[in-house]
A and B are shown apart, each in its own frame.
Chain A
Amino acid sequence: MTVAEFAEKYSMEVLSLPDPSREIKGGYMGDLLSWVMGRAKADQAWITIMSNQNIIAVASLIDVACIILAEDVRLDESIIENAKAKGVNVLTTKNPAFEVACEICHEIK
């Protein structure tokens, strides 16, 4: 399933979607950035509640399909601009991280 399809199906708000047709091939949940960099794989959806500028660089470097911000976490406008410039997809949802993980699981099984 693509990031755009996933966002629509689960009513997620799109903050940045420069690469809508990117396929989600799995998921990873975590807020410690170095931990995520050590364990997450390319093409996964990364679920986090971190909202600082560094998440964009991390997502870009590990090459995840998208960042999904759980619990209605928001980003500053400058960070959203940075995400668009770096080609990083970012979604946000009111759901807690666990439920987002279940939704991803449901789609890739």
Chain B
Amino acid sequence: MSEALTFHFDVNGEDFTSAGQASVRFKKNMRELGVDPEIIRRASIAMYEGEINMVIHAHGGVADVAVTEDAIEIVLKDKGPGIPDIKKAMQEGYSTAPDNIRSLGFGAGMGLPNMKRYTDEMEIESTVGVGTTVTMKIKLK
């Protein structure tokens, strides 16, 4: 497989209760490709956390996935408020999620740390007032 297989998902920021649709579809796509179940599990949890972040903080965004022979690359892009201090945002337990989100069981300050935990590479590019792009890579070999 020399060319990447690509998947595009729109993440709807309006409806928090249906958040996760892109990740669940992504998981199904990966299953159909025959990717190892533990890798699918790691990649889809990382993507779900990213999707939830986009819904909570950025009114949604887009997710682009590229699968090659060597890796799954997930790029999450939003036009939200941006992250002023990425180092702080990466700390376990640090969260800026509002109370209504916390009451649903999110906002534990574990989203970005989980994304890092379950992927092999993660990069965050963010500009305050412009948006955030998170690129994650999970190796297949």
Contacts and interface: CB of A to CB of B under 8 A. Distances in A.
A94 interface: no
A86 B49 contact: no
Contacts of B20: 54, 57-58, 61
Contacts of A38: 110, 113-114, 117
A75 to B, nearest CB: 13
Q: Interface residues of A toward B: which range?
A: 20 to 34
B41 A61 contact: yes
Contacts of B105: 31-34, 50, 52, 54-55
Q: Chain A's interface: helix, strand, loop or mixed, by majority?
A: helix
A103 B37 CA distance: 28
Given A38-B114, A52-B105, A61-B24, 6 more contacts: A33-B108, A42-B37, A50-B105, A53-B18, A54-B20, A61-B44
A98 interface: no
